[in-house]
Structure 1
Amino acid sequence: MSTIGRPTLGYLLVALLATAPGPGLLAEDGGTVPHRSPIALALSADGSRLLTANQTAGTVSLVDPAGRMVLDEVAVGDKPAGVAFAPDGRRALVANWYGYDVALLEVKDDKLTVAGRLEVGPEPRGVAIAGDGRTAYVAVGAADEVVRLDLDALKVTGRLAVGREPRGLALSPDGKALAVGDSRSREVAVVDVEGFKVVKTVPVEGENLRQITVAPDGRYAYLANMKDRQFATTRNNIDQGWVLGQRLTRIDLKEPEPYATISLDPRGKAAADAHGVAIAPDGKLIIVSLGGTHELMILQAAPRRLPWRVDGSRDLIAPELLAEPGRFRRVALGGRPTELAFAPDSKTVYVANYLGDSVQVVDAETASLVATIPLGAPATVSLARRGEALFHDATRSFNQWYSCNTCHSDGHTNGLHFDTLNDGRQDLRNTHERSRKKVPTLRRVTQTSPWTWHGWQTSLEEATVESFTKSMQGTKPTDDEARAVVAYLESLDFPRNPYRNPDGGLNAEAERGKAVFASAKAACNTCHSGPELTDGKVHVVGLEEPDDVYEGYNPPSLRGVYDKYPYLHDARSATLRDALSGPHSSEAVGGEELSEQELSDLIAYVKSL
């Protein structure tokens, strides 16, 4: 039975999705309906259909945005993270972040069918489909590659090395350029599509790069991102925009221009966790989603030019944007808005709301939320889901500057290091690099007590309170809130290790490295032992600073260490080779120097952990 043009059936379907399990979506208890948690969305070229990548449900939903209804939903894989429509709207592609594959979807008679699958590499996220409807591109984050696909043959036709952790992808309207946001290397790669080569790389000095889009005229690419300012987390530094801030960044795709930015943070009511960006087809409005403050920001880009600052940024938002009515507006949405898409009318904006389990419809001209389309959710919110909401809530920090997720991106790490007082001291003058500590991953953190780099914290609930009140300079969480955050942390785990053989075993090099790891010459297992590859003790390793409040360091788990760069407590080692052959090797172990073969084998084994 068709649901087109029959909104009553659409609303009934939404109600059923919210209260009853769909095919293939049952949890282990046989009856729990999952949160959909849409992290990404794609709008068809004519604006009539919309797809959402539902991360916690492992599904894609097909939505009729005009009828405000869910038409269909299909299981696609493990943690879908990016989705794209083909230009004709007849098929689509979704990348499964933890599944390491893409699923090709057929869209017919308002139904979704998985037409094929293809493994593309570790941790794919962003996807884009070319104008021919056949060629597609996938950002493969843990391989630092963009992969080109032939969707008709369902095969890989090329692999292109880019920067560290590519995530967002966007094709220019003429299909000649592909913009790639390389999150961990803080740059945008511009790819010549015909030659499938990087023609320029633009450093943006920004972090947490997410959705990227190209303006209708094809001149500029835009993305919203964080800017790490590196000062200590005091209230004054936070409010001046000297710890971190949010930026809208512009990249010139045509000319060899440097990047340009606009600061998004008003004093006293900052933006936080910028994620999505969309440009109206007529070019008059630019929209940014702010997951941490649960809102959209609407910037008027024409007829007046925005106050771009080239090759740098202001501490706070330009006063002229606040002074002129209509040039800068905020729309409260709740939840966690992530990716955005403009309708062809240049007025309507669709928002994937991860924590809202919904698609929201915003009138950009009036800056108002006009509709919410539920995708389905459990009737009762679990303790872990409440903790997930707290983890992403920047309004719990001083003047809402940042959330836990700002640094522990996706519950992992964004690779930065901060001076947060959790080691008992701060460098208020920002003159001592060693005062900043690297952001550790939170994957499996509940299994790796004690906590903090110095190992002084023995309660994860108390560590949560410390983070909210000291790192974030915010309000103290209640005991129930602290338990909720820990419940969410219990859900975080690593993806499968790409350095293992398909059967989970080790290759020959890693097998040799395993012996080196346990040998008296390297003695890595002295500290990195047990099921989590940490002994849970504090060791004096020779890397201490004279004014450390706490003595010694707590060895971090080596699980998933291939993706924990940079290394050591102060991020002094950019690579595993640096960490295993530099000061850590000589000071912490004090054994014999490894041969080049032994070092290479050891690195291969450590990457496999």
Structure 2
Amino acid sequence: MKNRPRVRMGLASALALVALVLLTYVPFALSDDPAKPAQEREQEPHRSPIALVLSTDGTRLLTANQTAGTVSLVDTAAGRVLAEVATGDKPAGVALAKDSRRGAVTHWYGYDLAVLDVGADTLKVVGRVEVGPEPRGVVIGDDGKTAYVAVGVSNEVVRVDLDACEVTGRLAVGREPRGLALSPDGSHLLVGNTRSQSLSLISVGSWTVERTLPIKGDNLRQVTFSGDGSTGYVANLRNKGFATTRNNIDLGWVVGQCLTRVELDGAEPFATLTLDTQGKAAADVHGAAAARDGRYLAVSCGGTHEVMIFRTDLAALPWRSSSSRDMIDPSLLKSDGRFRRIEVGGRPTELAFAADGKTLYVANYLNDSVQVVDAEGAKLLRTIPLGGPKELSLVRRGEILFHAAERSFNQWYSCNTCHSDGHTNGLHFDTLNDGRQDLSTSHLRSRKKVPTLRRVSQTGPWTWHGWQTSLEDATIESFTKSMQGPNPSADEVRALVAYLTTLEFPRNPFRNADGSLSPEAQRGEVIFRSSKTACSKCHSGPELTDGKIHIVGLEERDDAYEGYNPPSLRGVYDKDPFLHDGRSKTLREALADPHSPETVSALGTLSESETDDLIAYLKSL
């Protein structure tokens, strides 16, 4: 085993560098008069719309404003905000009933759903219900009184009675459900399972998972149905597995972006349209929308600040069954109108087509706006501002850098690509951060799991081997090595690190309401701190890591660095898969062999009940 050389590599693991998801702002008081000038409000935050929903008649639109903790009601014809109401902690999904009189918004960090009374020009929170940890997507059924919510940490879709404000059903789906769509006839739900490469089709009437549809895709975001309800679409990442060299990046062998199609009857395998062009890739695909008449499909690319439009009626699109190309099909680059790219700036996220089948509404997170795109003419028509500060703070500038794919070689990916929303997408990559790279996918020992960036500023040293002792240097390494991009300026490094310091964990869902431990977790804490396991020897201190390097039996013969830096156990319930190479899908698997107390400390073996209690305690951290 070699000594640790003085070489600069990338940040902890993935292709990105650092940073969070969403800025945490001090709560602000909204004016009673929504038309009151912004400078007269107590404080003007960024809105950062992450999701939107359009009324059936197209005259009104709701946005979930993530950093402001609000929902806005927008008049689409006048292009102005009619009302805005504070709703909760990090709004993530928003829904509107068919009659446009009732809405719902989920709160990613609030763990609840707020029920909204929607007037012609008013918004009011009239109810609230706890739905589970980290809810995102939400829709309201055709009856106008039932909502369905994708709850990410519990891997469920939850049914809510909006009149009674109570949960009436839960269904287990895949890992980390996020995107959620209701079929045109109201009979089915389509769910995108972000970390399990699958879509779930749920029958609303029987309240069962009717079908699980596997795809080869990660980072699943918005899902949508075709106009006739027979087909589902989702925009997603493909992890290709090769090392992050400039050549591999340029050939599309590291990551790729796709629009994936699934036939919901299960008769055919999934099919994809690759979105990347050599020299000008797509990055961080997020939104997916299908026009009701089927003529247009749209995809938003948050990392490259654009919307892509596909037209289906001119000639057949070159869908590829059960796989994807490394690059976009050449036939789409012939300027025949089937494929067009529209620059919109900022970070476009969710999309919605109007009933005319050509007017597309875009939630633009970093632009604090809703944008209107003409799909037929492939042009940005107008921008509807939602409000925001006049000057960009250092933190906001860091957030912009975090989502900027142009900081990578040929704009293939951003920091957010791997550290999704400042957390982890659960994948592993070969980014040179351990001092070596594998030249093919036949040997994958140098691939490392993407670590969370939550509280990353408090958990140095960095990288799995702990060789990096400066967070500032780590960001530079990520830009220049993991992303193969240009050197950041000193001010850019300051901005990115400032952004990182805002990243925090949500409240732990495995603790009692008062923050106390369950009896099982209390017993597990005793085991954790006992000499039998020696867990607390390495996972100690306020961040549950001692910041030192340890030999733990997971080393490879040709490792360039000796030993491993124990990761923080904070929020470990949502850090799967586990260990530096992601070899263990669950905590139980990690404790059963590769990182069992017997293997690590040679002090004893845990019984089944002791393992249960230890896992209960670990989840509570």
Distance 2:351 2:83 in 1: 20
Task: Please give the secondary structure, in 2, of the residue aligned with 1:434.
Answer: coil
Shift of 1:256: 2.8
Task: Please give the secondary structure, in 1, of the residue aligned with 2:479.
Answer: helix
* 1:460 partnered with 2:481: no
* 1:607 partnered with 2:602: no
Residue in 2 aligned with 1:33?
44
Distance 1:249 1:476 in 2: 34
Residue in 2 aligned with 1:339?
350
Distance 1:582 1:256 in 2: 40
Distance 2:494 2:355 in 1: 45
Distance 2:565 2:529 in 1: 19
Amino acid at match of 2:620: S
Q: Deviations over 1:172-211 (max 9, x none)?
A: 1111111000001110001111111111111111000000
Shift of 1:534: 0.2
Give runs of aligned pairs for residues 201-240 of structure 1, distance below 5 A.
201-240=212-251
Distance 1:393 1:499 in 2: 35
Asked if the contact 1:14–1:376 (Cα under 8 Å) also holds between the matched residues in 2, the reply is no
Which runs of 5 or more structure 2 residues have no equivalent in the other structure? 1-32
Shift of 1:305: 1.8
Residue in 2 aligned with 1:24?
none
Task: Please give the secondary structure, in 1, of the residue aligned with 2:153.
Answer: helix
Residue in 1 aligned with 2:85?
74
Shift of 1:20: 3.8
After TM superposition, the structure 1 stretch with the greater mean CA deviation from structure 2, 537-546 or 113-122, is 537-546
Residue in 1 aligned with 2:18?
none
Shift of 1:254: 2.6
The match for 1:511 among 522, 534, 540 is 522
Residue in 2 aligned with 1:286?
297
Shift of 1:63: 0.3
Moved over 4 A (4+): 12-15
Residue in 1 aligned with 2:24?
none
* 1:91 partnered with 2:112: no
Distance 2:423 2:299 in 1: 23
* 1:422 partnered with 2:443: no
Task: Please give the secondary structure, in 2, of the residue aligned with 1:588.
Answer: helix
Distance 2:36 2:328 in 1: 42
Distance 1:16 1:156 in 2: 39
Amino acid at match of 1:400: Q
Shift of 1:64: 0.5
Asked if the contact 1:500–1:506 (Cα under 8 Å) also holds between the matched residues in 2, the reply is yes
The match for 1:557 among 549, 558, 568 is 568
Distance 1:512 1:336 in 2: 46
Residue in 1 aligned with 2:360?
349
Residue in 2 aligned with 1:575?
586
Distance 2:148 2:113 in 1: 11
* 1:434 partnered with 2:445: yes
Distance 2:548 2:375 in 1: 54
Q: Deviations over 1:400-459 (max 9, x none)?
A: 000000000000000000000011100012222221000000000000010000001011
| TM-score calculated relative to the size of structure 1 | 0.95
Amino acid at match of 1:288: V
Residue in 1 aligned with 2:556?
545
Count of aligned positions: 588
Residue in 1 aligned with 2:322?
311
Asked if the contact 1:14–1:69 (Cα under 8 Å) also holds between the matched residues in 2, the reply is no
Distance 1:384 1:123 in 2: 24
The match for 2:146 among 110, 113, 135 is 135
The match for 1:534 among 533, 536, 545 is 545
Distance 2:523 2:383 in 1: 56
Asked if the contact 1:397–1:403 (Cα under 8 Å) also holds between the matched residues in 2, the reply is yes
Distance 1:485 1:14 in 2: 34
The match for 1:446 among 457, 468, 488 is 457
Distance 1:589 1:221 in 2: 50
The match for 1:16 among 30, 37, 44 is 37
Shift of 1:589: 2.2
Residue in 1 aligned with 2:606?
594
Distance 1:240 1:514 in 2: 49
Amino acid at match of 1:276: G
Shift of 1:157: 1.0
Asked if the contact 1:14–1:374 (Cα under 8 Å) also holds between the matched residues in 2, the reply is no
After TM superposition, the structure 1 stretch with the greater mean CA deviation from structure 2, 215-224 or 302-311, is 302-311
Q: Deviations over 1:294-344 (max 9, x none)?
A: 000111122422111111111110011112421111011110000011111
Residue in 2 aligned with 1:52?
63
Residue in 2 aligned with 1:247?
258
Asked if the contact 1:233–1:472 (Cα under 8 Å) also holds between the matched residues in 2, the reply is yes
Distance 2:153 2:601 in 1: 30
Q: CA RMSD in A?
A: 1.1
The match for 1:489 among 481, 497, 500 is 500
Tell me which of the two structures has the higher relative contact order, counting C-alpha pairs closer than 8 angstroms and 6 or more residues apart: 2
Distance 2:601 2:65 in 1: 46
Asked if the contact 1:350–1:362 (Cα under 8 Å) also holds between the matched residues in 2, the reply is yes
Identical aligned residues as a percent: 67
Shift of 1:345: 1.4
* 1:320 partnered with 2:331: yes
Residue in 2 aligned with 1:403?
414
Asked if the contact 1:20–1:33 (Cα under 8 Å) also holds between the matched residues in 2, the reply is no
* 1:477 partnered with 2:477: no
Distance 2:242 2:575 in 1: 23
Residue in 2 aligned with 1:6?
none
Asked if the contact 1:14–1:375 (Cα under 8 Å) also holds between the matched residues in 2, the reply is no
Amino acid at match of 2:616: A
Q: Deviations over 1:550-573 (max 9, x none)?
A: 111000000000000000001111
Residue in 2 aligned with 1:369?
380
Asked if the contact 1:438–1:569 (Cα under 8 Å) also holds between the matched residues in 2, the reply is yes
Residue in 2 aligned with 1:9?
none
Shift of 1:14: 6.8
Distance 1:110 1:256 in 2: 46
Amino acid at match of 1:256: A
Residue in 1 aligned with 2:179?
168
Task: Please give the secondary structure, in 1, of the residue aligned with 2:539.
Answer: coil
Shift of 1:15: 8.0
Cα gap change, 1:14 to 1:296, in 2 (>3 Å): farther
Distance 1:15 1:385 in 2: 25
Cα gap change, 1:603 to 1:13, in 2 (>3 Å): closer
Cα gap change, 1:315 to 1:605, in 2 (>3 Å): same
Distance 1:564 1:234 in 2: 27
Distance 1:309 1:15 in 2: 52
* 1:184 partnered with 2:205: no
Distance 1:476 1:66 in 2: 44
* 1:113 partnered with 2:124: yes
Asked if the contact 1:543–1:587 (Cα under 8 Å) also holds between the matched residues in 2, the reply is no
